[in-house]
């Protein structure tokens, strides 16, 4: 008979990875040994994707070559392009991305291979395509096409350009780029685990990413950032503390708080809080930032819970002019770097992921023909 399961697999070590590492007690996060505090605001998202997918921070030459590869990958596959308008009409953003990534596989020249070189090329193409899919979806639902990407701009800059329709300021690009870096990887989080389970059957990278997108979508994971903004919008600025206490007393979860691994401040939240404050002050209306600070104080006091990565990301994206229902799609743009790196890692040293279960159903049931049931 199997042992008792650990609910939610808490504290179960499900894989070995050289990609990221967390010290939940100290509130530290590392990508391939680099402290997130050293990367945030210094490494670009492109450098971070190279670090995760290709194993090292790139030299200038390697970064230029990687940038060219990303630029070549920045196009929608024919099947995705042909269907994006109808998908935008019928599906919500994360559902649409799940469909569009699946359709993109049809036009990927490496779709039938999981060989290491094919996986590297697909990882770069998926990373380049994801912002285009989100911006293309957003434009399609408003009846247009996004502005042409500017070859001088980074992934972060082009995404802001394509979604807001205006040339972003240099500091806005820096801040958004830092957001992408902060969200790029996070050990065995639910969506990454889903991707690895899929990849471990020797299925292909696009299938694993579709599994990851479906998993990120839920409000207990990536979907929380959209819910944070909706909570802020639903509260009266003068009544935050009372409303939050009331929700907690009613055993409601406050989105953007709590974490399976961090038992102290999430190091990513430190950067996001700072950037939220900066953008709030620059906008001339810091209401949502002040409300967030008040929520943070109340939830810590009442429940001992800290904000997670989704909490201040919400106001940062809001101040950057990103529509609220694109917050979780933005998370997917960033996490694509990590998901694809995990698929590469899983395929490189694979064993089927197939845990056991504890049977809790009926036993010794006697068969009855349908007329007698
Ligand atoms: C990118 C990311 O995925 S970050 C996480 C994003 N998700 C959210 O922000 C959703 C809100 N947070 C949560 O639901 C949880 O804290 C999770 C899912 C992140 C972690 O879940 P778990 O480790 O399974 O903790 P679990 O949900 O069992 O919570 C433990 C206790 O803390 C409480 N709790 C946890 N988070 C919250 C919260 N945000 N608000 C209120 N209470 C909470 C639970 O109600 C539970 O209380 P109980 O023991 O009295 O029943
Ligand atoms: O690690 C987790 O469980 C969730 C998380 O913070 C992330 O995916 O970034």
Q: What is the CATH number of the domain that holds 234?
A: 1.10.230.10
Q: Flag whether pLDDT at 133 surpasses 80.
A: yes
Contact 20, 338 (CB under 8 A): yes
Cβ of 268 closer than 6 Å to ligand 2, yes or no, is no
Closest approach atom of ligand 1 to CA 190: 3
Mean pLDDT of 26-52: 98
- pLDDT, tens only, 194-252: 999 999 999 999 999 999 999 999 999 999 999 999 999 999 999 999 999 999 999 99
DSSP code of residue 365: P
Q: Which H or E run includes 279?
A: helix 267-283
What is residue 3's predicted lDDT score, i.e. its pLDDT?
78
Average pLDDT over residues 86-92: 98
For position 220, what pLDDT does the model report?
98
Same domain, 166 and 42: yes
ipTM: 0.98
72 and 183 together in one domain: yes
Same domain, 60 and 106: yes
Any idea which residue has 């961090």 for tokens?
Answer: 262
Percent of the chain whose predicted confidence (pLDDT) is above 70: 99
Q: Is the pLDDT of residue 1 over 80?
A: no
Ligand 1 is surrounded, with C-beta below 6 A, by 8, 220-222, 224, 253-260, 303, 305, 308-310
Question: Domain for residue 360, yes or no?
Answer: no
Q: In this structure, what token pair is assigned to residue 358? A: 């504890």
One domain for residues 142 and 290: no
Q: Is residue 59 included in any domain, yes or no?
A: yes
Q: What integer pLDDT is reported at residue 144 of this predicted model?
A: 84
Contact status, residue 258 vs residue 227, Cβ threshold 8 Å: no
| Residue 143 pLDDT exceeds 90 | no
Is residue 358 within 8 A of residue 72, CB to CB? The reply is no
Q: Is 52 helix (H, G, I), strand (E, B) or coil?
A: helix
Give the global pTM.
Answer: 0.97
Examine the pLDDT at 348 and tell me if it is beyond 90. yes
The residue annotated as part of the active site, out of 50, 206, 259, 342, is 259
pLDDT tens digits for range 184-193: 999 999 999 9
- In terms of domains, do 41 and 184 share one? yes
Is 259 among the residues known to form the active site? yes
Query: Could you say which ligand is closest to the alpha carbon of residue 24?
Result: 2
Would you say residue 2 has pLDDT above 60?
no
Local structure of 30: helix, strand or coil: strand
CA angle 95/101/106 to nearest 5° reads 135
Percentage of the chain exceeding pLDDT 90: 97
Distance of CA 158 to the CA centre of its chain: 18
The pLDDT of 159-165, averaged and rounded, is 97
Q: Which SS3 state, helix, strand or coil, does residue 20 take?
A: strand
Same domain, yes or no, for 117 and 215? Answer: yes
Average pLDDT over residues 322-329: 98
Q: Of 108, 204, 286, 310, which residue is the catalytic one?
A: 310
Domain extent for 309: 224-319
Atom of ligand 2 minimally distant from the CA of 308: 6
Is residue 4 included in any domain, yes or no? Answer: no
Which atom of ligand 2 is nearest the CA belonging to 22? 1
Query: Could you say which ligand is closest to the alpha carbon of residue 258?
Result: 1
Q: Which residues pair with 23 in a beta bridge?
A: 28
CATH of the domain at 94: 1.10.580.10
Q: Are residue 193 and residue 330 in the same domain, yes or no?
A: yes
What is the pLDDT of the chain when averaged over all its residues? Answer: 97
* Closest ligand to residue 295's CA: 1
In 3D, which of 8, 19, 35, 34 has the Cα closest to residue 261? 8
Give domain status of residue 24, yes or no: no
The answer to whether residue 254 sits within a structural domain is yes
Do 216 and 266 sit in the same domain of this protein? no
CA distances from 61 to 57, 65, 119, 320 (A): 11, 6, 21, 31
What 8-state DSSP symbol labels residue 257? B
Angle at the Cα of 77 (from 154 to 148), degrees rounded to 5?
Answer: 40
310 is catalytic: yes
């Amino acid at each position: 008979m199997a042992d008792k399961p650990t609910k939610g697999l808490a504290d179960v070590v499900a894989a070995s990875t050289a990609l990221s590492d967390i010290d939940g007690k100290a509130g530290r996060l590392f990508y391939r040994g680099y402290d997130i505090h050293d990367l945030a605001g210094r490494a670009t998202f492109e450098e971070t994707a190279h670090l995760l997918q290709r194993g090292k921070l790139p030299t200038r030459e390697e970064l230029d070559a990687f940038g060219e590869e990303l630029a070549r990958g920045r196009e929608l596959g024919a099947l995705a392009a042909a269907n994006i308008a109808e998908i935008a009409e019928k599906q919500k953003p994360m559902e649409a991305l799940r469909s569009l990534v699946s359709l993109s596989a049809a036009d990927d020249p490496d779709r039938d291979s999981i060989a290491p070189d094919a996986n590297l090329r697909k990882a770069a193409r998926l990373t380049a395509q994801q912002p285009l899919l989100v911006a293309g979806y957003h434009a399609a639902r408003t009846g247009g096409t996004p502005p042409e990407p500017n070859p001088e701009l980074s992934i972060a800059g082009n995404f802001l350009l394509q979604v807001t329709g205006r040339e972003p300021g240099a500091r806005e690009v820096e801040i958004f780029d830092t957001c992408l870096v902060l969200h790029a990887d996070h050990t065995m989080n639910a969506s990454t685990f889903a991707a690895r389970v899929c990849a471990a059957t020797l299925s292909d990278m696009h299938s694993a990413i579709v599994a990851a997108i479906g998993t990120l979508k839920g409000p207990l994971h990536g979907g929380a950032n959209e819910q944070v903004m909706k909570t802020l919008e639903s509260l009266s600025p003068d009544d935050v503390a009372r409303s939050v206490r009331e929700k907690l007393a009613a055993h409601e979860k406050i989105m953007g708080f709590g974490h399976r691994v961090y038992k102290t401040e999430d190091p990513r939240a430190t950067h996001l809080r700072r950037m939220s404050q900066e953008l709030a002050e620059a906008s001339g209306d810091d209401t949502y930032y002040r409300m967030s600070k008040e929520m943070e104080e109340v939830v810590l006091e009442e429940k001992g819970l800290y904000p997670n990565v989704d909490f201040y990301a919400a106001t940062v994206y809001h101040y950057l002019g990103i529509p609220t229902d694109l917050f979780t799609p933005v998370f997917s743009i960033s996490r694509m770097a990590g998901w694809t790196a995990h698929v590469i890692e899983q395929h490189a040293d694979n064993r089927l992921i197939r845990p056991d279960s504890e049977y809790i159903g009926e036993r010794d049931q006697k068969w009855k023909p349908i007329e007698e049931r």
